[in-house]
Copies of this chain bind each other. A is one copy, B any other.
Amino acid sequence: MNQEQQFDALLEQIQDLLNSRRYLELRDLFSEQNPADIALLLEELPVEKLPLVFRILPKEDAAEVFAYFESDAQEQLIKAFSDRELKEVLDELYIDDTVDLIEEMPANVVRRILAVAPQDMRSSINQILQYPDDSAGSIMTTEFIHLQRDMTVEDAFMRIRRTGVDKETIYTCYVTESDRKLIGIVTVKTLLLSESDALIEEIMEDNVISVTTHEDQESTAQLFNKYDFLALPVVDTENRLVGIITVDDAIDVLQDEATEDIEKMAGISPTDKPYLKTSTWKIYLTRIPWLTILMLTATISGYIISAYESALISSGMVMLTSFVPMLMNTAGNSGSQSSVTVTRGISIGEIEFSDLLSVIWKEFRVSLLCGITLAIVSFLKMLFLDRVELLIALAISLTLIVAVLFAKVIGCSLPMLAKKIHLDPAVMASPFITTIVDALTLIVYFNIASSILGI
């Protein structure tokens, strides 16, 4: 059985047990599953069964399963919860998951959540909520292990044992001064490999890499990729420790940002909901703006063709228009290759604005190689396969070289310039560049054709 079949078999078993009210067996079945899988299974059940099934779950898994639910299932559940049940789940949720929840829920549900949350949780939530979306502060958690410099390793383990159960990670501990300034980190690995009477300040790492609360979440997540961190401290402008980001949240950001880049490159406004859970109308709204803009700008190409139309008819060269799709596609593809490469390079931190000239120089040479190859291939094809006239084949081959050159140089520079003026490079990629490149290609084509063929 593959994974999908296993999933379906399990789902059927759950439905059978549920219909025959064999709840104890159902609980046993759940206790063998990972909370992430339980969440996926429960989301397939009819929504009115959800509260019942949720109450059957082993207590220690329930909050974790809840955190994995999509927001519509979470909303259904909260509405069915008693205040006591809601409080139980909130107590077990990590602060960052609670904040995610609050950001997705309608106002009346948020009010209920805040009403049952204890005071310290409310203030943590409010603190995180104040940071802008897409900032490091918005994805951090405030639950981490604090140590002081004059503690011993033994003290540290005592603190971890006493407070660790509720922390999102215990493997990196944070050493702060009394004014909450971050002065070092120490990992549990270091603690385990040190003598029990060693002082924290002797064994801690004091060159700490941290981010400030307003740092962009994408560049923050890239730090996990660069340094192989499990967690990263978040400080305010006075270097006071306010939270930490764990690697699982960094992975989510990296994945979401890659998806967003891909969507923008294809002219889609990004959403954070999975495709199959997004309504037709919402998908329509993410796609229609760029489609309309690009359709309207593409008519520029039409105007250029119209401008040459009478010249083409009177010189008997209407057949020149039949090469337009090939020329436009090839130039568009060449431009996309460059813009997409450069945009991804910017996203993963490989390319910076200071590389602009070396990128243009590289794309210039690549475009000459590509343009000449394409020109030769199409020249031979037109001459020997399509039996096109020599001069026409020449005009088209020359156009290819110039158009590919333009396309690649524009394709690589626009995303970098966009980044420099704080626009999104991904939006500049593919579709937008195609429109510019299309128009340029046509102008080049008709000019070269007129001078060679004298139309």
Contact = CB atoms under 8 A, between A and B. Distances in A.
Nearest to A371: B291
B226 A247 contact: no
A401 to B, nearest CB: 13
Could you say which of A192, A355, A373 has the most chain B C-beta atoms within 10 Å of its C-beta?
A192
Interface stretch (A41-49, A80-88, A236-244, A337-345): A337-345
A381 interface: yes
A72 B123 CA distance: 52
A254 interface: yes
A292 B358 contact: no
B227 A36 contact: yes
Interface in A194-235: 207, 209, 224-228, 230
Interface in A174-192: 188-189, 192
A354 interface: yes
A280 B369 CA distance: 9
B318 A302 contact: no
A377 interface: yes
Nearest to A256: B348
A110 interface: no
B324 A262 contact: no
Contact of A321 (B255, B305, B350, B378): B305
B164 A276 contact: no
Contacts of A283: 362, 366
Contacts of A34: 207, 209, 227
A75 interface: no
Contacts of A337: 266-268, 287, 291
Interface string A246-272: 011011101100110111011110000
A119 interface: no
Contact of A266 (B170, B291, B430): B430
A54 interface: no
Nearest to A266: B340
Interface in A352-367: 352, 354-355, 358-359, 362, 365-366
Contact of A334 (B188, B291, B362): B291
15 contacts: A34-B209, A34-B227, A170-B189, A255-B258, A263-B341, A266-B333, A275-B341, A275-B359, A276-B350, A280-B366, A284-B366, A298-B330, A302-B322, A306-B322, A325-B438
A370 to B, nearest CB: 6
A61 B18 CA distance: 57
A160 interface: yes
B340 A326 contact: no
A318 B309 contact: yes
A288 B207 contact: no
Contacts of A23: none
A326 B351 contact: no
Contacts of A152: none
Given A288-B374, A302-B325, 18 more contacts: A34-B209, A188-B192, A224-B251, A268-B337, A274-B350, A275-B359, A276-B358, A280-B362, A280-B366, A284-B366, A294-B330, A295-B374, A296-B381, A303-B322, A305-B322, A313-B318, A336-B430, A336-B431
A251 B248 contact: no
A281 B362 CA distance: 10
A403 to B, nearest CB: 11
Contact of A374 (B230, B258, B291, B374): B291
A138 interface: no
A441 B431 CA distance: 18
B301 A341 contact: no
A161 interface: yes
A193 interface: yes
Interface in A285-320: 287-288, 290-292, 294-296, 298-299, 301-303, 305-306, 309, 312-313, 318-319
